[in-house]
Amino acid sequence: MAINFVFILLFSGILSFFAPKKHVAYLCHLLILGAFGYGIAALSDCFATPDLTVMWEAMPNFHVLLNIVPVAQTKVLALGLLIFGAVSVMYNITSAEEQSKSFLNGLVVFNIVLLLVALCSTNYFQLLAAIGMADVVVYSMLNSYEAKRQYIYGNFLADFLLLNIFAIILGQHDNIEIVDSGGYSTDWHHRDYIAIILLTCILIKSGMAFFHSAYQKMSPLSANRLNFILFMTTPLMGAVILNTLQDVLDISRYSLPIIRIFAILTILWGACGTFVMYNNHRKCSYMAMVFWGLYFCAFSWLSSINPLSFLMFLGMAYLFNTVLSNVGSSMQGKIPVITMLVAAIGYMLAWWNFSGTNIILAIAGEGVIFMLTAHVASTYKNSTIQSILPAISRLWLYITIIGGTSAVFYLIPDILRLLPHIVVIAIFWCIVATHNPFAYRIEKFNTENIQTGDITTSIYETMLLAPLQITGRVLRLTIDIVFLERTVISSIKNAIRFLIYIFRRLHSNSVLSGIIFSLLGALIIAFAYYNGVVK
Amino acid sequence: MIENAEFLLTILMSVPLLGIFFSAISKENPESAGRNVLSVGILTVITNLVILMLIGNNLIHGSASLQIMKKFEWLNTPKIEFLFAVDTFSLPLIAAVHIAILLGFFGVLNNSYRQKTLVILALVFLEMMIGYLLAGDLFSFYIFFEAMLLPLFLLVGILGDMHRQDILYRFFLYNLLGASLLFMALCILFNHQHVTIQTINTVVLSRNLEMIVWGAIFIAFLSRIPIWPFHYWISSVNVNISNPLVFIIANILPLTGVYGLIRFFPLTAPGIIAPYLLVLEIISIITMVVIALIGFSHRDVQYKIFSYMTVYYILYLLGALLPTDALLSNIGFSIFSWLIIVAAIEVIISHIEKERQQLGLPEYGILKNAKTISFALSFFVLAAVGLPLSSMFLNNMFIFAGLLTYNLKMAMFILFAIILSSVNLLQHLFYLKYSDNENSEKNVVAIDMPSPIIIVLGATILLIITSFINPLWYME
Amino acid sequence: MLTDYIALLPEFVLALGMLTLVLVNAFRHSNTPKTFYTLSRIFIFISAALTALFYNQNIGEYLHNNAYTTLFKMLLYFFTFIICYLSAKRFVSKGLPSFSFYTMMLFNLLSYSVAISSWNVLLLCLSLSAAFVGNIFLVKIEKPEEERRHVLYYILLSTVVALIMLSGAAMLYYHLKTFDYRVIEEFLSVRSNLIWQHHFAFTCVVGGILLMMGVAPLHFWFSNVVGKSILPVAAYLSVVPVFAYFSCLVNVCVNAFYPLLGWFNTVFIVFGILSIFIGAIGANSENNLRKIFAFSGLYYIGVTLLALFPINDNSLMSAFTYLLVYVVAICGIYTIFYGYRSKGKYLYNLDDIKGVATQRPFLSAAILVFMISLIGTPPLLGFLGKLSVINSLVIGHRYALLAVVLFSMLILAYAYLKIITVVYFEPRNNAFDIVDRGVYWCMVINIIIMLIAIINPKYLMHDVELMLVAVF
């Protein structure tokens, strides 16, 4: 019986997650790699696997159909994800830096599965559930306090905003099918609001400008974790949301301009960061920013996105960053530069292919990638990271770089026509990489404030959090203490005290009080008699 | 399916009484340190949970009406018949209350101060809550509505570290006022027409009387929920409670208000008070925002938890007041997970505080070396803020959908309050987990949790996740 | 001829009992405090049995017995016995003479028994006045000369009340030439017969009864007397006489002065409201436990009054239920007071019982149960009383009164909360003496009665209803 590869992946992930470190770790690694291999084979149509469709009784009054059925468009992406997943697992296995290999590999598997679930979503519930669970998985991956903190604040907010949008759609149209979202554009309420909220969510997820702090704080993570998170997790999920809910964004005329503005800002910010940072991991984070900025540029300026091109672009960016985060002063000689050259060539080619027919976009992007990759190659020796790569790790790195670049060469049509240009660019790249023209200019940015500072968080804390805290304190003082306690409650207390005082005075002298009360009683009787009988 | 399953209701209500009896006669000595009576309490709650599961097996899913009914003739003049029944809405709530109190019992595992009193009063409160959630007629509804005040008052007074007794008095009298108003209203309704809760909307009254009756009912239930300006002393009572079980019980009380409103106004509010609903909604939303802001600036974690609970109670209240009954089961299942999650958070937080005081550690970064506690607390906080780990996640979406459709501007404030109150919890979580290189040398003393509590929390995590994957797992 | 008076046997036994006590006190020298209790209880038992036996026997035109009178008399006997039993513990523990107390118990029983069955205004006034004046002997028990100011005050008051009642009866006789209820009622039914003297006479009689009940604004004496008397007397005055006054009030209003009730209903309502408010505020202003419950008793009497008038079978039933529930609870409270002792001294100040729950948990739990029952909180018996009254007010469409009752209950509840706080939440500052087993027995029996009554009240209520309507 053909078992769906998703089950095998999940099983391998769970086993790896809970496996004790020493005894069965290697078995788990093998099982995971085998599961990925099986998945790749299944998606390559080597053998038939049944579609995964589950009726989920998510709520007592609502059932949701869960689909993990990769259709034509998503099949390529799904295949790519599985390949990258396998690559990442191999990086983890061969890495000496990574201590919790099994645990991390399990999380990698869960993340890939959740990405598949999100990719194959046909309804909002499935998409939302996958996104939310992926956040939890990534949160578990982070073993840095600050990264965890910033990540969860941002993504909790993003998930909440997404939930908000789906709730509006559900409330207005009582339909959760994504495919029907295009038909709503004629009669939607609150269009701009929905589009802006959705964009905010996507920008947070993808770590765009002003929302990138969480990813900057991930520099203490190991190289593999860092790069996997930057390219294969939440930011990629943001791209999935962007693609899946494109029809929703189209309802507002502000969507496209906002995407373009943020994309350019992100590229600029990322480029500046890449130039000035000395820490290689921080450089990686900014490089990832540039990558996603470029992706958003492509999304907003191109009429459609080719999945295979996107995969190549994603893969090469991931590989370049992997090289960058693993080189350090321990690697001497020309090998790191050559490695980075190969990766950079593949990176630039992938972008050229991805940007399609938009020449301006292609050239601008090439320029950015060229300058950044060359610059980081020229300054890798300044890195503060003393990474010591074991031989097997280096071997796997070289294999993946060469393999990835080769795949790019193979998959791009008319690559031979581009060869002369590639050679020229490579020569110029080498010149820039070896001579480091920006070295003296970036010297002045080597201050603690710039290297470790976080301006975005400071802005949030000053402009957003501080006013909220002050408001809370003022409200507590004015409403709870001054108004309620000192005014209302004190008045009631004093009134009761006064009543008791009067009471005690009236009852203090027995004879006099007796006379007074008796007279009062007589008066009441007389009054009642007068009213009831005389009148 | 069990035939004549009404006896299960009788057993459900009798077991806590037996528990109270055995708790009262249990022997305590310095060695046992309250363990005997606590074991009785735990066993009582677990027994009831098993019975609840049997009841759940006998319920017909999809039916909104009361099922498994038990009648009891009480008086001839006036003719009063008590009706107890359960439906698919009340069952998860009863289960949630049980599990929350069970967690509370484990939270006081090492408590030695007046343990017997604590357990007995907790079981009395549990009994009253069961009766309230099972009540199908007007009088049994009221009886348990008021009766639960006394054990709560005693619990808070004896074990709540209350230094200002006037706040406790006000808290009790304020709730008693609400109960008295409800009683008055129910007597008027009953004397006009012998109705049950299901048919209460069929009563025809004169305009003025209708205003008085429904207004009184509204105020009675609202008095349980910390709506401004009554949030002040309710919050004052809550923040002074360091005992986790007492805190949990005190914060279950507002559930009675929400539940009452849901039962009495299932579809639409009576026409006479419909104009005032907008006022109520505005005040509720103001309360949510104010409480969330105060919680954001407040340092005390108990206030943060209280503000979080208040915001969600008002959310459920507003969801219940929407002109649709399609959300009721969503509210019920959301409350199920939510109550358990908050109880778990409270147990963990109070344990951390106790350990901290015993070991003389600073609070900042105390969880750095406590992996198990850190994991458990992280799970529950993430579930509490609405990530897909519990049935809250999707059920709340339906509630938000209803609110957003009804009035977008109001819903924005509601969402703001919810985000803020969730951030409060996250803030505290990271405050406890703080870690940097300087701190790594300090706090080498790791705090620990007793194994029984870890096991129970683990089981709770499984239950929460199960509620997300398959909320109706207990039904056939 | 003799058989016409056979129904007087219970009263005769009580008189005989009194005589026996006097003779024993005079001629027997080895008396202990328990001696008089033992003798009293024999006569109480016999009298109660005879009352039940001759429950429907009349004695000429003077005394009528029926289910209604028998019900109240049995309640009187029952509660008097409880008070006597508990008081014996006190007298024995202190080694003080109990002759006066038990003699007055019998005397009061006799007077109240006559008053309840009375079908004659003069007999009613005489018997009630006798009991009221006779309470002087109770009030002055164990009081030294220098502390007898309140006794003098009570003597003055009781004399004045007796005179007022008797003058009312005299005025009635002067104009109607009869004391008989039925004749009076027939005469007063004709509106043209009515003159202001009839109203005045009626006011004197009923006003006297209201003062004896301690209804506001005629309540000024009650809390002082109860607060300053010894515990057995305070218990007795709080628990027993209210039944007698209630039954006499209903009897005389229904069977004699019914035509005059129209205008007097306003008085009842105003007095009731005043009682409620003064009772609730008074309970909050005191630190003496007996005075607190004396004032709270005022609240309950006020509510009873509001529920009772205008009199019909439904209002009578609800008022009686409320009163019975109140008396059962207050009896329980005083039972607890017998347990609150430190170094041989019975405690009555709030400060003296701080933290008693830590040393006497069962007593404290019981006082909590009784006080919660007094508030009317379910699931205790007090709820049944509250339900009866509220239901009665709703049926009569008296929503304003309903609001008054409920609001005042909150004020009263505050006073009880203070006591609960002191008992449970304050640190203990006294060592409490061992409690007599008899106190625990009484407490347990009281609670069992409450539980049985609340769990299944329908049978009890049905029988009581049948007995009450016999007054009409």
Evaluate if residue A19 carries a pLDDT over 80: no
SS3 C32: coil
**Of A271-280, A381-390, A515-524, which range is least confident?**
A381-390
Evaluate if residue B409 carries a pLDDT over 90: no
Is the bond into B30 cis (omega within 30 degrees of 0)?
Answer: no
Enclosing H/E stretch for C89? helix C67-94
Q: pLDDT by residue (tens digit) across C402-439?
A: 989 988 998 898 889 889 888 888 888 878 888 888 89
Enumerate neighbours of A (3 or more CB pairs within 8 A): B, C
> Closest-CA residue in chain C for B81?
C458
What pLDDT, on a 0 to 100 scale, did the predictor assign at position A46?
63
SS3 C427: coil
B1 vs C24 pLDDT, higher one: C24
Measure the CA–CA gap between B292 and B235, rounded to whole angstroms. Answer: 12
Q: Residue B426 and residue A166: Cβ atoms within 8 Å?
A: no
* Mean pLDDT of the region B125-133: 95
Predicted confidence band at A70 (pLDDT cuts at 50, 70, 90)? low
Query: CB–CB of C389/C303 below 8 Å?
Result: yes
B contact residues 432-471, partner A, Cβ 8 Å cutoff:
433-436, 469-471
The torsion angles phi and psi of B288, rounded to 5 degrees, stand at -55, -50
Give me the torsion for CA of C148, C153, C155, C159, rounded to 10°: 180
Residue A218 corresponds to which tokens in the numbers above? 């991930």
What pLDDT, on a 0 to 100 scale, did the predictor assign at position A1?
41
Give me the torsion for CA of A325, A331, A337, A340, rounded to 10°: -30
Evaluate if residue C270 carries a pLDDT over 90: yes
What percent of chain A is predicted at pLDDT more than 90? Answer: 21
Measure the CA–CA gap between A389 and A339, rounded to whole angstroms. Answer: 14
Predicted confidence band at B52 (pLDDT cuts at 50, 70, 90)? very high
What pLDDT, on a 0 to 100 scale, did the predictor assign at position C466?
78
Q: Is residue B383 part of a domain?
A: yes
Query: CB–CB of A204/A292 below 8 Å?
Result: no
* Mean pLDDT of the region C90-116: 90
Measure the CA–CA gap between B292 and B285, rounded to whole angstroms. Answer: 10
* Mean pLDDT of the region C38-52: 91
The answer, for A529 touching chain C at a CB cutoff of 8 Å, is yes
C74 vs C58 pLDDT, higher one: C74
Q: Which of C149, C197, C267 to mutate to test the interface with A (most CBs of A within 10 A)?
A: C267
A300 vs A53 pLDDT, higher one: A300
* Mean pLDDT of the region B257-262: 89
Predicted confidence band at C272 (pLDDT cuts at 50, 70, 90)? very high
Predicted confidence band at C220 (pLDDT cuts at 50, 70, 90)? confident
Cβ neighbours of B429 (radius 10 Å): 25
Q: Residue C425 and residue B157: Cβ atoms within 8 Å?
A: yes
Sequence letter at residue A258: I
Measure the CA–CA gap between C39 and C42, rounded to whole angstroms. Answer: 5
**Of A79-93, A474-488, C324-338, which range is least confident?**
A474-488
* Mean pLDDT of the region C142-165: 82
A415 vs A131 pLDDT, higher one: A131
Q: At what angle do helices A415-435 and A335-354 cross, to 10 degrees?
A: 140
Measure the CA–CA gap between C114 and C131, rounded to whole angstroms. Answer: 10
Residue B385 corresponds to which tokens in the numbers above? 């803020």
SS3 A289: helix
Residue in B401, B426, B472 closest to A156 by CB: B426
CA torsion through residues B318, B320, B324, B326, sign: positive
Query: CB–CB of C290/C226 below 8 Å?
Result: yes
Give me the torsion for CA of B175, B180, B186, B188, rounded to 10°: -150
* Mean pLDDT of the region B391-405: 86
Q: Residue A167 and residue B400: Cβ atoms within 8 Å?
A: yes
Q: Look at residues A79, A138, A135, A83 and name the one whose alpha carbon lies nearest to residue A107.
A: A138
Evaluate if residue C452 carries a pLDDT over 60: yes
* Mean pLDDT of the region A509-516: 80
- Counted across chains B and C, CB pairs separated by less than 8 A come out at 82
Please give the DSSP secondary-structure letter assigned to residue C428. P
pTM: 0.88
For residue A467, the chain B residues in CB contact (below 8 A) are: none
For residue B297, the chain A residues in CB contact (below 8 A) are: 468-473, 476
Q: pLDDT by residue (tens digit) across B424-472?
A: 999 899 888 876 655 454 555 667 888 889 999 999 999 999 888 877 7
| Paired strand residues for B135 | B84
Residue in B77, B158, B190 closest to C465 by CB: B77
For residue B469, the chain A residues in CB contact (below 8 A) are: 56
Spatial neighbors of B389 by CB under 8 A, at least 6 apart, are A136, B379, B382, B383, B464, B465, B468
Give the pairing type, strands C341-342 and C345-346: antiparallel
Evaluate if residue C59 carries a pLDDT over 80: no
For residue A531, the chain C residues in CB contact (below 8 A) are: 263, 266
**Of A402-406, B81-85, C457-461, which range is least confident?**
C457-461
Evaluate if residue B474 carries a pLDDT over 70: no
The answer, for B43 touching chain A at a CB cutoff of 8 Å, is no
Q: pLDDT by residue (tens digit) across A415-457?
A: 888 888 888 888 888 888 877 777 666 677 777 777 777 788 8
Measure the CA–CA gap between B365 and B370, rounded to whole angstroms. Answer: 10
Q: Look at residues C311, C194, C115, A534 and name the one whose alpha carbon lies nearest to residue C186.
A: C194
B308 vs A223 pLDDT, higher one: B308
Query: CB–CB of A227/A321 below 8 Å?
Result: yes
Q: Residue A136 and residue B88: Cβ atoms within 8 Å?
A: no
Predicted confidence band at B345 (pLDDT cuts at 50, 70, 90)? very high
The torsion angles phi and psi of A354, rounded to 5 degrees, stand at -70, -40
A contact residues 464-523, partner C, Cβ 8 Å cutoff:
496, 499-500, 503-504, 507, 510-511, 513-514, 517-518, 520-521
Q: Residue B149 and residue C465: Cβ atoms within 8 Å?
A: no
What pLDDT, on a 0 to 100 scale, did the predictor assign at position B268?
55
Evaluate if residue A21 carries a pLDDT over 80: no
Burial class of residue B113, CB neighbours in 10 A (0-12, 13-18, 19+): exposed
Residue in A510, A517, A529 closest to C224 by CB: A510
Enclosing H/E stretch for B86? strand B80-86
Evaluate if residue B6 carries a pLDDT over 50: yes
Predicted confidence band at A319 (pLDDT cuts at 50, 70, 90)? very high
Q: Is residue B475 part of a domain?
A: no
SS3 B338: helix
What percent of chain B is predicted at pLDDT more than 70? Answer: 92
> Closest-CA residue in chain A for C280?
A500
Q: Look at residues A59, A64, A189, A171 and name the one whose alpha carbon lies nearest to residue B401.
A: A171
The three-state DSSP-derived secondary structure of C215-274 is: CCCCCCCHHHHHHHCCHHHHHHHHHCHHHHHHHHHHHHHHHCCHHHHHHHHHHHHHHHHH
Q: Residue C424 and residue B157: Cβ atoms within 8 Å?
A: yes
Query: CB–CB of A134/A119 below 8 Å?
Result: no
Q: Look at residues A392, A417, A313 and name the one whose alpha carbon lies nearest to residue A356.
A: A313
Evaluate if residue A231 carries a pLDDT over 90: yes
ipTM, interface predicted TM-score of the complex: 0.88
Q: pLDDT by residue (tens digit) across B79-97?
A: 788 889 888 888 999 999 9
Predicted confidence band at A497 (pLDDT cuts at 50, 70, 90)? confident
Interface of C with B (CB under 8 A): 317, 368, 372, 375, 377-379, 383, 386-387, 390-391, 394-395, 399, 402-403, 406, 409-410, 413-414, 417, 420-421, 424-425, 456-458, 461-462, 465
- Say how many domains are in chain B: 1
What pLDDT, on a 0 to 100 scale, did the predictor assign at position A26?
80
Burial class of residue B424, CB neighbours in 10 A (0-12, 13-18, 19+): buried
Predicted confidence band at B3 (pLDDT cuts at 50, 70, 90)? low
Evaluate if residue C241 carries a pLDDT over 90: yes
What percent of chain A is predicted at pLDDT more than 70? Answer: 89
What pLDDT, on a 0 to 100 scale, did the predictor assign at position A286?
92
